[in-house]
Structure formats: structure tokens, C-alpha cells
Amino acid sequence: MKRTRVITIAAATVALAAAGVGTAAAATSSNPHRDSHDIDKSLIEAFIDRHPKNVIVLIGDGMGTQEITAARYYQGVNNPLNVDRMDITGFDTTWSLKPAAAPPYLPDYDPDSASTGTMWATGEKTIDERISQGPSSAENVPGANLKTALEVAQERGMRTGDVSTAEITDATPAVQGSHISLRGCQGPANMAACATETKAAGGPGPIAEQLVDHKIDVILGGGRGRFEQTIPAGSGPDGGKTVVQSAQGKGYQYVTDAAGLDGISNANKPVLGLFTAGNMTVEWAGPAASLGKGNAPVACTETNRPANEPALADMTRKALSLLDANNRKGFFLQVEGASIDKQDHATNACGQIGETVAFDKAIGVALDFQKTHPGTLVVVTADHSHTSQIVSEDASGAGLPTGYSTNLLSKDGQTLTLTYGTAGFGGAGLPPVNVPPSQQHTGAVVPVWAKGPGALAVLGTNDHTDLFDVITSFRR
Amino acid sequence: MKRTRVITIAAATVALAAAGVGTAAAATSSNPHRDSHDIDKSLIEAFIDRHPKNVIVLIGDGMGTQEITAARYYQGVNNPLNVDRMDITGFDTTWSLKPAAAPPYLPDYDPDSASTGTMWATGEKTIDERISQGPSSAENVPGANLKTALEVAQERGMRTGDVSTAEITDATPAVQGSHISLRGCQGPANMAACATETKAAGGPGPIAEQLVDHKIDVILGGGRGRFEQTIPAGSGPDGGKTVVQSAQGKGYQYVTDAAGLDGISNANKPVLGLFTAGNMTVEWAGPAASLGKGNAPVACTETNRPANEPALADMTRKALSLLDANNRKGFFLQVEGASIDKQDHATNACGQIGETVAFDKAIGVALDFQKTHPGTLVVVTADHSHTSQIVSEDASGAGLPTGYSTNLLSKDGQTLTLTYGTAGFGGAGLPPVNVPPSQQHTGAVVPVWAKGPGALAVLGTNDHTDLFDVITSFRR
């Protein structure tokens, strides 16, 4: 499916030199970040060097154009986000494959996080629920595993990290450090649907074990419950241990709260930080969405996360510090803001916006690192688009959305109305159900932002599979 | 609100020269257009020259990321659009201003086509329904008019064109060649709400008269009904004439069908082409959207437009040919694919996709012109985002959208499901209304694509007001 496109810096250099020196032009932008991050500077940096030493991939799960705009507008129209510091931008298509007994595999326009994650992690399309394996309908097929960007980095002797606000065994973090036919097979006790893939059956075991077996240097997120499950007897030397005990046996430093993470200073031993049993607590809380006009506009409560759970920005900062320490060979780090998606599914506008803002703070940490480590490529994108839409606060009667709406008071003091309506049909002649069911993903292209060596390749319209080449274009 | 960002080509040239010649890197994309339109070539072209001779602005009304993706997927995932030939891409925010008796004017997150059009046409924010005038609550305020990009081009002796599939007096085409307090004041008989702005009252008259009075060289679209209205007595020398007669008196060549347009060969006299009484006929037809699961998937009928109406691509080709003939000073042309928005309002998936494909063909015409006239800047964007969303074909029960869905059979033979749910609330405890009311605009950033001199300024995240500087960065 892919075609090779040759980029010749020589031609660029000659052409630009021919343009003559001394010409200057002024352009303006209402984006104040442009003062210090002008387009030319970003472009020249990316033009000169196509091969990063370090790669940081940040995934805003479900963060389509509506979601990023909702966060931007909530924070104030003249108060740009950190992601707005990134000048090299494009769009990626995200279609996955439909299950079939054999090729051809046909397009599925509304993908999940497993198939989309597999795209940038491996460069290949697969079916929904599949983690870094091809689309074959058979389980545990020899050769089905697709090499991931994290594995490519490890083969080159680079350090690696995997950070998420979800269970770290959830689909998006799983795609870099595991291969399994169904995303649900996360812990030793969750393998019923992946019976041929247990270690006892000669397979690689559940996602939790695979992440540890991959010896990823920094693993930070939720999902402690999966790692506290006991590995069954007959699974090899770790049978009878929990996955945590297995990790500690492999040399992992294990922490379970923010203070523990702060205390880690040894960058020469791997780190496993699991801060909640399930997904990490969302940053913000607010009113429930409802049918019709929705609530009187209110501001979100921004203090929902307990202090013993680190923020995504804190996990990102710590991961960068550990991965970069005395490291000549570079690193590969994936960071996921997971609950943008989960709160969009849940029609929780404040939850969704708070997670987007928290994710944006992690982007800020990555960009600050990139500034002092210009050999670093930072790529930000979403895995797929989602449901929330910004609509008019003035609608009334039948002009109101059919679904679930919330009215927020933005930091500019204005009403920001979000609506969710991709699930909740009540039946023929019936109103939508009162308690909104999980909303759907949507199919629109997702935004992509990049900065640093190799960034130019995200410009224009590409597919999420193309991102694999971008994030593995490591220094030679 | 704007800040100046200095672009220094000299620094770029030196930096690139310092990078040394001979380095080559290969990158891949699944986008086959990348074979012949590689990123570097587009960037170098835009790097060297920031000042276009000609500017073509193409507006897909309501064409957010869901709408462009729906058209791309309907046409086939391996059959990219013409817009996918454009490598220089970014995002624009589109918020407008809320009405107020005096400043400060606060943000409105869900704008209309008048306020958004005024943004790129003039570089300034205004209130909804306002055409290239400031946000003051008073009508016909001296000095309220904001200079438009088309007027800047005219002052430089450039030729100008305004093309749309809507009534040419509709908001988006109106913003370049008229100034009025309410978008509805389109023809001499539509001035009740703009009483102080009639010519009899010393104002500039309705949009139709203003477009003609502006002596725009090429005016092509729908809206003949507005121009067949009679200018009232007391309106100056044209009182008692229709606007068509007024135009003819000013030297306009007047045509009303595709054959008439084909027959125009004199580029030295202006052209008024009005091909329908109202909006032009949409290209495609298909099934009506309905609540719940929607129709059994079908392909769209692609032959809805009568042959006597020119396609948008035909109007664009003719406009370019007339504007470029023996023209040393260059031209400014705006082209609108208007009914993407109108069919999105109407929950007509085939209508919407057909108009997007027709708009994309006009983009192809502009890009082909740009290829042979590299001094031309092509900018493509939407004025605002809209309602349609691509959702799962597999949903059932309460997992189905709350609104109005349509199932189409894509050219890959797969079901493409679109849903619309930003209007249609039936009341407390009632189902959504059966005949969907006009759907809402939505607030997400819109995609921006550019190619040619000056294109780099669209990269990253900007505001629609910033586009004014981009499209008026004419050659010096």
C-alpha cells in the first residue's frame, strides 16, 4: 500500500540558496506562541535533520478536532494550549480492517483504539480489538506479530517508556509492548478469550506479563489490579507469582504513588509505577449531561484527582528524566492521555476537557524537553475522533440537539455548550434513553502535530500507518 | 489581538546551507499523491517566495474534518481527493463575537457564515449575520465597513472573481464584495431589515447591487431572483431597473446557463453568470436520514444537477481562464462550495458528499492552474465545522445515535454510516421530531490547506482572521 517518496535535502539547499539572502517578510498570527516559535524556525530545524535521537509520541485518546477545540475554548480564546506551540501539522485517516476469514480485508470506517494503535505502532492495518498482530481470524498464528516502534528502538539499544492515565494494559499503551489477538486479555486472570495465547499454552501470556517481559525501562500508569493477579502454575518460572513479583524478580523498581515515583532516582534499573487498581482518576468533575437544554452553565471543578496519584505531566517529566540520564543511544517514549476518550464515551464534558488540559500539560513538558534537546522528535495525535460537539448555547425547542448536552462557563465567562448524541436511541417512537449509554467513536481524520527532526513527514494528509515510519526514523 | 512574527529567509538559507548537501532520506506515505507532490518541493516553493501574483481562496462551506473524511471514504480509501495533493496544512479557530451595545465583545463559540467569512475577508472578528462590517450594534455606522481582500486586490489593479454554488448574494460570496449589517439584505426587495442601508437612504444598497457596483470582473453562481428584483425609484440612476439591467449598463456580459458561460470569450468586459433563481442544484441525491438504524445501505445517485447548470469545477475553470488572460497584475478569486453546509443542515448525506466531491474537483482545477502558474497561492478551508459524523454501521438498540442516520454504500462496497443530531429534540419525554429541523454548525477548528507563495503561514494553529494576511500577501 505504501509508496516511497524521496526527500532530497541537497535540492532544498540549492534552491533556497538560489533564492538569495536578505529578503524578509512579516506575517502575523493571533496565536501568541508564534512570537517565540515561528514557522520558519520549526521548518528549518526539521528540514536539516530528519533523524531524531529521541522520539516522544503523545496520544490524546479520542482527541479529534471538537475535543481539542472544546479544551482551547474552555481555557480562554486568548490563552492558547501548549499544542499550539507546534507549527508542523497535518491530518491522518484512521480506518481499520473488517474481520474476514482471508484477504482481502475491507475498510472499517469507525475504528477502535487497538486497531488504530497498531497502525502507528507497527505501520500496518489490522482489525479492531487486535494488539500489534495482523488481521488473520486465527489466534496465535506464527508470524502474526508485527514489530512495534518500541521494539525497533530496543533493537537499537535505545531506552523505552510507556505512560498512560489508563490501565497500562489498555489498548493504546499495549500496542507498543505486546502482541495479542484480543485487547481484553490484560492480566493472567483475563485470558479466557485468548486460551491459546497463555504461557501455559506456549503463547506470550497476557498484556501485563508481556509489558514486563519486554523489559520496558519505564512503565507508568493505572492497572495495578492486572499486575496483582497471580500467574498460573505451568506458566514457567513465574508461575504462582503475581505479575508485580515477576517484575520485581526482573529487577523492576516498583512504586504505587506520587511520592514513590518522586523518590526514584536510579535510572539504571527499570521502573514499574502502578498508581491505581484500574484507570487513574480524572482531573476534573462537573455536571452530568442531560437531554434538551441541559444544566445552567457552571465552571468545572478542577481538583478531582487525589494528590497521591501523579498527574500525566508529572509522569511524563519523570519518564523523560529517567530515560535521558546518561543515555547516548536515545529513547522512545509513548505517553497517552487516555481518559479524554473515556469521558467522551461517558458524556462527561468537564471530565473530557480536564483530561485534555492535563494531556496538554504533558505536551508542554515534552516540548520544553525538546527545546533543550533538539535531537528529539515530538509527535502528538489522537488515535481516532469521538462524539462531543460544540453547539450553540442559544438553541431552543426542536432546534436543540437530540442527545445529551452540558453547559459550561468558560474562563472567558461565556457559555460553552457540548453535546453527545452517537448513542442513546430509545426505540421507535420513544425518547432517547435517560442514562446515556457509552458514546461511539467517530470516523473523521485526526489532527497531527510534530516538532523536531523528522517532523515534516506529518504534513498534509496521511494515514495512521504512515506514522510508524515517522516515529522510527531514528538517527543512524 | 495580532502580534507580528518576523520571517527571515536569510536565516533559513544560511541554516540550510550549513546543513551540507548530499544527504537524502526516504519517507513513505500511503497517499499516492505524494509521489509527485512531495513535501519538500511544496515547502521549498513556499519558502522561496512569500508573495503570490494570484490568489485563489476555496471555501468548502461547513466542511469540517467529518465532512471531508466522509467524502474521502465514500470515494474509496485508496482513491485520494484532490485536496490530498496539498502538503501545507493547519487548523483555524472560527469563534465569532456576541452582540453587545459596546465593547468588549465576547466570544461566540458557534459562528455563522457571515461572521466567519468576514474573518478571512477582512482580518477582523464580527458578530453573526454581519457582512464585512464591525460588530457595532448600530446600522450603517460611518467607518464600520472593513476593507476586504478583494478590495485590496482591486486597489492594486488586480482582477477579481467571486464564484459560488449558492445564491451569489449569500453570506460567503457576499463578504468579499459588499458591506451590510444583516446577511439577509440580498436584493432590492429584501431591504426591510436594513432600511438605513438602502441607496434611497444614502446607503450602499443590497448585496446584489453592491457586488455589481464593486465591478467584480467575474461573478458566477445562483441567485438570479435577487438580481431580477427592481431597484426602487429614488435609488439614483439605476432606479426602476433590475439589478441585471444595472449590471448590463455597467458593461457586464450576462449569461444564465452553461452554454452561455462556455460562449464567453471576451476577458476585457466583466461577466455576470446567474444559473438558477436560488441556490444551484446539488450534484447528488440519495436516501433521507431517519431515526434509529436508518435505511438499508445504498449508493448515491450522482446525476442530480441539470446539464444547463455548470458544475463548480466548470465555473472555476472559466473564471481562471478569464481572470488570467493578458493579466500582468494578477488576480484574486474566491470559490465557494456552498451546499456542503446546506445539505449538512438538511441531513442529506448524499447531497453533502456530492457537493464535497464537486468542491474537490474545483480544488483540482485550481491546483492544476497553480502547477502551470507557480506564482499562484491556493488556499482551501471551511468557514466553520458542521454536524455530520461518521459512526459505526454495527450499532444496535440504545447504542444507536439519538439523531438522524443514513447508510451509504461506499465505492469500496462498504457501509458508510453518517449521523446528524445537533437539532431535533422533541421535548421532555418525547422522541426526536420525525422531520429533522435544520442542523447546527459546530465549533471545532477547521482544516486549512495551502500551496504556493505565502502558503507556509497556514501551518500550525491560527485563527480565521489570520487568513486575511495570508491571502493579501500579494507580490510587491
Is residue B246 classed as helix, strand or coil in its secondary structure?
A: helix
A434 touches chain B (CB under 8 A): no
Residue of B nearest to A456 (CA): B39
User: Is B26's pLDDT higher than 50?
Assistant: no
CB contact under 8 A, B31 and A461: yes
CB contact under 8 A, B15 and A48: yes
Structure confidence by residue, pLDDT tens digits, A394-416: 999 999 999 999 999 999 999 99
Residue of A nearest to B41 (CA): A12
Residue B82: what pLDDT? 97
Q: How far is CA A184 from the centre of its chain?
A: 18
Residue B21: what pLDDT? 26
- Residues of chain B neighbouring A48 (CB-CB closer than 8 A): 15-16, 18-19
Is residue B460 classed as helix, strand or coil in its secondary structure?
A: strand
Provide mean pLDDT across the span B175-181: 97
Q: What angle do CA B84, B89, B92 make, to 5 degrees?
A: 125
Q: What angle do CA B355, B358, B360 make, to 5 degrees?
A: 110
Residue B29: what pLDDT? 76
Structure confidence by residue, pLDDT tens digits, B327-378: 999 999 999 999 999 999 999 999 999 999 999 999 999 999 999 999 999 9
ipTM exceeding 0.90? yes
Provide mean pLDDT across the span A336-343: 98
The closest of A93, A102, A169 to A135, measured between CA atoms, is: A102
Q: What confidence tier does A8 reach under pLDDT thresholds 50, 70, 90? A: very low
**A274: Cβ contacts below 8 Å, ≥ 6 apart:** A168, A221, A222, A223, A224, A227, A244, A254, A256
- Residues of chain B neighbouring A470 (CB-CB closer than 8 A): 27
Separation in Å, CA B110 to CA A92, A392, A418, B103:
25, 5, 11, 20
- Which residues of A are known to be catalytic? 113
Residue of B nearest to A31 (CA): B462
Structure confidence by residue, pLDDT tens digits, B43-55: 888 888 889 999 9
Grid cell locating B113: 457564515
Q: In this structure, which amino acid lies at residue A281?
A: T
User: Is B24's pLDDT higher than 60?
Assistant: no
CB contact under 8 A, B69 and A32: no
User: Is B22's pLDDT higher than 60?
Assistant: no
Structural contact between residues A403 and A420, judged by C-beta atoms closer than 8 angstroms:
yes
Provide mean pLDDT across the span A470-476: 94
User: Is B12's pLDDT higher than 60?
Assistant: no
Residue B14: what pLDDT? 38
Cβ-Cβ contacts under 8 Å between A and B: the total is 467
Per DSSP bridges, beta strands A218-222 and A271-274 are parallel
Residue B16: what pLDDT? 45
- Residues of chain B neighbouring A129 (CB-CB closer than 8 A): none
Grid cell locating B224: 438570479
Grid cell locating A255: 512504586
Structural contact between residues B163 and B194, judged by C-beta atoms closer than 8 angstroms:
no
Burial B373-387 (b: 16+ CB within 10 A, else e): beebbbbbbbbbbbb
CB contact under 8 A, B109 and A390: yes
- Which residue of A109, A345, A471 is the best one to mutate when testing the B interface, meaning the one whose CB has the most B CBs within 10 A? A109
- Which residues of B are known to be catalytic? 113
The closest of B88, B267, B154, B297 to A87, measured between CA atoms, is: B88
